[in-house]
Structure 1
Amino acid sequence: MAADKIRKFEEFVNERLRVDLVKVMESREKVAEQLAHYLQLEALIEQLQISNVPGEPLRTQVDLGCNFYAQAKVSDPSRICICIGMGYYVEFTLAEALLHIARRRKSLNQAADKLAMESAKIKAHIKTVLEGLREMQNIKSEEPQAHRSIW
């Protein structure tokens, strides 16, 4: 009977909690990736605002895919198109784009914080269940040893 309970708890940890933790960590990684892209875009826009002469076209290189670049000339670099999700792009002035990026970064930071809290909760559940399993199996807890000074 106790062995059956132990097996069920182990299955719960391995098949539910650890899977949930992996999903949350993957989601958090995706949010961090999006945040990095927005930070990179923000830096690019700020550089454009500083270095670009109004009315003068911008010469650049565009990635066509698979790291294959082509020369490009942007006739009006005062406006930029940003993907807002689901394949939709919106044209912004550079100042509007910076405002949009700031709002999006705030939203992504909140999502990252929420996912961090969720992962901490899952880790706490795993630790609690594992401690319960140790008690059921009469295994001593691994207590941290006191650090000894060599001085």
Structure 2
Amino acid sequence: MAPPVSSKTNANSQGAVESKVLQYERFIDEVLKKDLQVMEQRDAVYEQVSHYLQLKNTLQALQETDSQSLKADVDLGCNFYVQAKVEDSSKIFVLVGFGFFVEMDHTEALRFIDKKTNQLTAFTDQLTKDCAKIKANIRLVLEGLRELQGLAELPESSRREVF
């Protein structure tokens, strides 16, 4: 009669698999999901690009009207607006970064906006590539977990995006 070594070995290997599964799950939660904060950073950069493009459209509209005076509603915060009148709109202050504003005329501002949006767009492209790599790593670890646990592979139609 053979000793019950095989059942003990089977229990040990089952415990090792469970330990490995917990390790992989912890890695996903602690490392890879935190890496996905890159997506939030990318969204913030998209918002900056949106603000610059909105300013560009406003400047182009001002150039078309050839009007020096301007009336606008200014948000004071918490959706409280006040009417403002600008006597001379030939120069504006543009946020150039790190909280610094520079006074520019319309053509300087338009050139700056084009350069800044190109720079920010290149940065978002890099962030998008980083997001794709992180999602691929998560997918790889999830597939490894599936194999460790002996789960059947899902058909393509029932798969969904990881995040």
Pairwise same-fold verdict (TM > 0.5):
yes
Using the alignment, how far apart are the partners of 1:138 and 1:71 within structure 2?
67
- Identity across the alignment (%): 44
- C-alpha displacement of 1:103: 0.6
Q: Determine which structure has the larger helix proportion and give its number.
A: 2
Secondary structure of 1:40's counterpart equals helix
How many residue pairs get aligned? The number is 142
Structure 2: runs of 5 or more not aligned: 1-15, 158-163
User: Match for residue 67 of structure 1?
Assistant: 79
Deviations 1:106-144 (A, max 9, x none): 011011111110000000000111111111111111122
1:118 equivalent in alignment to 2:130: yes
- C-alpha displacement of 1:98: 0.4
Using the alignment, how far apart are the partners of 1:28 and 1:59 within structure 2?
34
The structure with more radius of gyration: 2
- Per the normalisation by structure 1, the TM-score is 0.88
Give the 4+ runs in structure 1 shifted more than 4 A.
none
User: Match for residue 15 of structure 1?
Assistant: 30
- C-alpha displacement of 1:14: 1.6
Secondary structure of 1:70's counterpart equals strand
1:85 to 72, 94, 97: 97
Structure 1: runs of 5 or more not aligned: 146-151
User: Match for residue 156 of structure 2?
Assistant: 144
Deviations 1:24-70 (A, max 9, x none): 111011011111111111100100101133xx422333222222222
